[in-house]
A and B are shown apart, each in its own frame.
Chain A
Amino acid sequence: MAELFATEDTEHTEIYIFLFSVFSVNSVANTNSYIMYLRELDMTLTLKINGVEKEFTDDRIPENLSDLLDDLDISQATVVAEIDGRIVDRKSFDRTPVQPGQAIELVRFVGGG
């Protein structure tokens, strides 16, 4: 499990494992704590957005989809999102956590026939 954190800090590995187990339950509250912890550890979050890997560090680590769109300067009103193949309702963007390694598709309407 330690490799999840990709850290050289072997001295504290057990603490990381403990913290990960505490925060690994897939709920919004715990994910937020987990993201905050990532921030404290000065770590990065990698997401695959529209097929391209993008790294977020420090304060730029988004807590949820809403944060992510703000960070990318994309208007939430016009975009539709899919995380790992599941469509996310626009109303739940701010309640949808983003997690390391997710594949996120952001699409919108363009001109077409």
Chain B
Amino acid sequence: MDKLKIADREFDSRLLIGTGKYASNDIMAGAIAAAGAQIVTVALRRVDIDNENDDLLAAIDRTKYLLLPNTSGARDADEAIRLARLARAASGINWVKLEVTPDPYYLLPDGSETLKAAETLVKDGFVVLPYINADPILARKLQDAGTATVMPLASPIGSNKGLKTRASIEIIIEQATVPIVVDAGLGLPSHAAEAMEMGADAVLVNTAIATAGDPVRMAIAFKHATEAGRLAFESGPAGTGSGAVASSPLTGFLRND
């Protein structure tokens, strides 16, 4: 399998893992390891000053995994920029998964605010990985603005509905000058494989693994699916046709006619 190159870093794994919704930090750590992931997303939230706080970072070995803070919760560009800067101060790295989602029900990203924030953050030296609706025009504007990837959604976050935006993602991949990471809505390993077969450079999965009955085994399933899809893409899939084409020879049958 080819390596995945984002900005100036190379990765063997093409499966990015989110760290939300796990029943415990131990299960999360097990799932990340089982997935063979090298990039893990995290969110930034206020400390609860009246209760004890779990230390998420204690469960993530930062020598093995690149922490990718997101700007979840941001409703506009300014909030996202503020979160990105806080995340940089907290993590010591300048990578950020940019998300601006003003709509609390479908959590769909706001394209114009995302572009605005991306332009500022790129100028500020961030490696920006923007989460967007599968909009080929916006994807092009973002890559032209200097983002490190474009991350179109397959379907709404946490919906597990799979690749509902397939036709648009195909166009995004076709015109891409940066890696395309399909993010959000991939509910089954087959969805991840489908995205990778199409030529996506990577996938990001959280809910489908974290809320599975056995997250560690599901992480293994997604790892295999992502690798299988990528290998298929790199192998050059055979063409399709409407008529049947026999796989076995059409001569030497045991009959005389």
Q: Taking the complex as formed, is B1 at the interface, i.e. its CB lies under 8 A from any CB of chain A?
A: no
- Looking at chain B, what size class is its interface with the partner chain? 35 or more
As a 0/1 sequence over residues 171 to 213 of chain B, the CB contacts with chain A under 8 angstroms (1 = contact) are 0000000000000100000000000000000001011000000
Q: How far is the CA of A105 from the CA of B21 in the complex (A)?
A: 24
B92 to chain A, nearest CB (A): 9
Known: A110-B56, A113-B70. A80 touches B86 (CB 8 A): yes
Interface pair B44/A109, CB less than 8 Å apart: yes
Q: How far is the CA of A75 from the CA of B49 in the complex (A)?
A: 11
B1 to chain A, nearest CB (A): 24
B18 touches which one: A75, A87, A112 (CB < 8 A)?
Answer: A112
Q: How far is the CA of A108 from the CA of B55 in the complex (A)?
A: 9
Interface pair A107/B57, CB less than 8 Å apart: no
Q: How far is the CA of A105 from the CA of B47 in the complex (A)?
A: 8
Q: Taking the complex as formed, is A89 at the interface, i.e. its CB lies under 8 A from any CB of chain B?
A: yes
As a 0/1 sequence over residues 47 to 84 of chain B, the CB contacts with chain A under 8 angstroms (1 = contact) are 10100111111000000000101101000000000000
Q: A73-B52, A90-B89, A113-B41 are in contact. List 5 more A-B contacts (CB 8 A).
A: A108-B44, A110-B56, A111-B22, A113-B158, A113-B207
**18 pairs from A and B in contact (CB 8 Å cutoff):** A50-B49, A51-B46, A72-B49, A78-B53, A78-B55, A79-B47, A80-B90, A87-B85, A108-B47, A108-B55, A109-B42, A109-B87, A109-B91, A110-B54, A112-B72, A113-B21, A113-B70, A113-B184
